[in-house]
Amino acid sequence: MKIKIDLNGTKEIDVEKGTTALEIFTHLNPQSNRKPIAARFNGSLIDLSLPIEDEGILQYVTFDDEEGKFVYWHSTSHVMAQAVKRLFPDAKLAIGPAISDGFYYDFYTKKTFSPDDMKKIEKEMKKIIKEGQSFERTVISKDEAISLFTEEKENFKLELINELEGDISIYKNAEFVDLCRGPHVPRTSYISAYKLLSISGSYWRGDEKRESLQRIYGVSFETKEELKKHLHKLQEAKERDHRKLGKELGLFSTMGEAGPGLILWHPKGATLRRIIEDYWKDEHLKKGYELVITPHIAKSGLWRTSGHYDYYLENMFTFKINNNEYVIKPMNCPGHILIYKSKIHSYRDLPIRYAELGTVARNELSGVLHGLLRVQEFTQDDAHIFCMEEQIEDEILGVLRFARSIMNTFGFQNLNYELSVRDPDNKDKYAGFDKDWEKAEASLVKALEAEKLDYKRMEGEAVFYGPKIDIQMYDALGRKWQGPTIQFDFNLPGRFDVTYVGKDGNQHNVFIVHRTILGSIERFIGTLIEHYKGDFPVWLSPVQVRIMTITDKSIDYAERVNNTLIPHHFRTEVDKRNEKIDLKVREAEKERIPYMAIIGEREEKENTVSIRERHRKNRGSFSIVDLIEELNEKCKKKT
């Protein structure tokens, strides 16, 4: 029996019912120079070996596609796990997903994996790949799955199976079998260039009270050249690691005595943070925001009203004072709402824009804490816009333009946009009425289209209380980082009865737009450190000019130069140590100081300084006036 297959919406062909995607693609020229490794049929990702029984749209999935990379990396994780089981039969399988830049697999074993073991595993993987084993998908009953993994003595898999309903999907290649939804590449021989990268500890299901596991990370590519480029990028990322640079540049530290995930800002780090926060405040005041400050703690009743107590308690720090329970705030939203409700507002007052650099605390598992990127206490650049329905579109467009402008100022020109909306098939899971969601979504779409921005629609990714725009920024290595968020909230206005008096004299519901631009100040600074590799532009540099003396005879002149620069609000230091100038320059370069003003007898005589710019040769003699003019220009343009 023949069925019609639409290929990528460009060509329609008739094929025999039960023909596999691989068989169909074999007779056609792929759209890319890469061979297909999976397929998308009627929107669902499938194995190339799956027989196609119905008519529909069939699309290539290659390594060029994001989904293709995940299929490729997930398949490689299975090969790695198979190699581990061959070499270390007592090892128990946990999970082995593809991640944003490769894959990992977690194992439970009394043996501690070593770098030599990784080499052995890579060697065994090579054998498995050379064997060209087929990835075979089978659907079995839950009872059959329990029986199979009981026989294999895979307790972690059994725990997962017991939580599933209905039939179970497994994949088998040669002697290796794994619980898996797939899809996978057709055969192990599809995997070409791979590398195991590191070993780390983890906990089963991320719970530090559960079993300790060993996690092996890896990555794979279709060509050795791509793998080589990726490994170079990883090395570059290692050199940019904000934890390493933060220590070297004297920006911040974490100390066990203080507690995990709590940041100690050193003078230079505090200076960097102040520069960012001052700029943030100035720009918000220009845009009509009013700055507010809310308490770090509040009675638990406030969080019961907001809903956080019921749904977020495990991430909140609570304590008691005189038998009253208090919460260290995990969010700033309720505080802003209380400020709004402290007086009656009419339609003439709206929109009202409150903004705060509010420090919040969240109880995170120690295993997920990571430098500045994931901490237990951080400062959010929160803002809430209280507006009428007819003001929504203008406010959303204004926030989108504002967010893009600030990101560009900090050096993030390449941005990615996602529109997170409701799951249309499960509307009951979301707060608010259909008309509110439709109006909110339309306003988000209109703003994106007004700015001619490409975006990806993410159905089912909205939080329960409203749709949102998520903006990710690409750094110098092309990595995506979390950035601004523009979020509607249909939950809190109802819970707190947030209203305004309309032209008709009646009470009307306020629309609340929640937005962050920098997000977590800590995470944003971590991003900046890695993006610039510590080489901050002049306007952001904690120290902009280091004045260095060649001999002690020039100390007085160096101090006079410094006293000339300070009134212009430049951040300066004087290095008057009795050390060789070459050593002083090397240290300044290592500390990423943008300008080095070298002073000797000649400079003092001519009333000049000899300028060396970071990572550049000497630029020669500058008058103090010329140096001030250049610094002012760079700071003004924020270049």
Closest listed residue to residue 20, CA positions, set 59, 56, 47, 55: 47
The DSSP line for 208-254 is: TTS-EEEEEEEEEESSHHHHHHHHHHHHHHHHH-HHHHHHHTT-EE-
Tens of pLDDT, residue by residue over 376-387, are 999 999 999 999
Q: Do residues 51 and 20 make contact, with C-beta atoms less than 8 angstroms apart? A: yes
Q: What is the pLDDT of residue 12?
A: 84
- Is the omega angle on the peptide bond into residue 183 within 30 degrees of 0, that is, cis? yes
439 a catalytic residue: no
387's CB contacts (< 8 A; 6+ apart) are 350, 351, 352, 395, 510, 511, 513
Strand partners, 107: 93, 214
Q: Which residues pair with 548 in a beta bridge?
A: 575, 598
Query: Which amino acid belongs to residue 492?
Result: L
Measure the CA–CA gap between 51 and 23, rounded to whole angstroms.
9
> Do 183 and 75 touch, CB atoms closer than 8 A?
no
The first and second tokens of residue 34, run together, are 């890469």
Query: Which one, of 500, 117, 564, lies nearest residue 341 by Cα?
Result: 500
CA distances (Å), origin 157, targets 135, 170, 458: 19, 11, 30
CA–CA distance, 354 with 351 (Å, rounded to integer): 10
Sign of the alpha-carbon dihedral angle for 426, 428, 431, 432:
positive
Which residue, 380, 312, 305, 361, is CA-closest to 337?
305
Domain 2-61 belongs to what architecture?
Roll (3.10)
Nearest Cα neighbor of 543 from 526, 566, 559 is 566
- Residue 142 and residue 169 in contact, taking contact as beta carbons nearer than 8 Å: no
d(CA 289, CA 277): 15
Identify the H or E element spanning 279.
helix 267-286
362, 523, 576, 612: which one is catalytic?
362
| Listed residue (226, 220, 224) closest to 37, CA to CA | 220
Strand 618-623 to strand 608-613: parallel, antiparallel, or no bridges (unpaired)? antiparallel
Q: Could you say which of 468, 515, 523, 584 is catalytic? A: 468
CA distance 512 to 563: 49
Contact 603, 550 (CB under 8 A): no
Nearest to residue 412, comparing CAs of 370, 475, 467, 332? 475
Closest CA relative to residue 390, chosen from 502, 557, 291, 234: 502
- Cα angle vertex 620, ends 616, 623, to 5°? 125
pLDDT for the residue 424: 84
pLDDT recorded at residue 31: 55
Q: What is the number of other CB atoms lying within 10 angstroms of the CB of residue 425?
A: 9
Sheet containing 38-41, strands listed edge to edge, beginning at the edge strand earlier in sequence? 11-16, 2-7, 56-61, 38-41, 44-46
Separation of alpha carbons 91 and 48, rounded Å: 31
Return the structure tokens found at 8: 């990528």
468 part of the active site: yes
* Amino acid found at 487: Q
Contact 411, 531 (CB under 8 A): yes
Among 91, 290, 48, which residue's Cα sits nearest to residue 185?
A: 48
Burial class (CB in 10 A: 0-12, 13-18, 19+), 399: buried
Q: Are strands 136-140 and 168-173 parallel, antiparallel or unpaired?
A: antiparallel
Which residues is 98 bridged to in the sheet? Answer: 103
Distance between CA atoms of residues 352 and 334, nearest Å: 15
Gap between the Cα atoms of 15 and 25, Å rounded = 11
Distance CA 6, CA 13 (A): 7
Catalytic site includes residue 362: yes
Does 336 qualify as catalytic in the annotation?
A: no
Counting beta carbons within 10 angstroms of the beta carbon of residue 102, is it exposed (0 to 12), middle (13 to 18) or buried (19 or more)? Answer: buried
Q: For position 630, what pLDDT does the model report? A: 96
Domain boundaries in the chain?
2-61, 67-234, 253-294+332-532, 545-637
User: Rounded to whole angstroms, how far apart are CA atoms 139 and 172?
Assistant: 11
- Residue-level pLDDT at 28: 65
Q: How far apart are CA 145 and CA 532, in angstroms?
A: 50
With a cut of 50, list the residues of the chain below it in pLDDT: none
List the beta bridge partners of residue 507: 501
Alpha-carbon distance of 498 to 27, in angstroms, equals 62
Read out DSSP for 449-461?
HHTT---EEEET-
Predicted local distance difference test score (pLDDT) of residue 11: 80
Q: How many CA atoms lie within 13 A of 342 on its CB side?
A: 7
The pLDDT score that the predictor gives to residue 25 is 84
Task: List phi, psi (to 5°) of 297.
Answer: -130, 155
The CATH number that domain 253-294+332-532 falls under is 3.30.930.10
Between strands 2-7 and 56-61, the pairing is: parallel
Instruction: Give the side-chain half-sphere CA count within 13 A for 136.
Output: 11
* DSSP characters over 173-204: ETTEEEE------SBGGG--EEEEEEEEEEEG
572 in Cβ contact with 562 (< 8 Å)? yes
Query: In the CATH scheme, what is the homologous superfamily, with its name and number, of domain 545-637?
Result: Anticodon-binding domain (3.40.50.800)
- For the segment(s) 67-234, the CATH number from 3.30.980.10, 3.30.70.380, 3.40.50.12780, 3.30.450.40 is 3.30.980.10
pLDDT of amino acid 616: 86
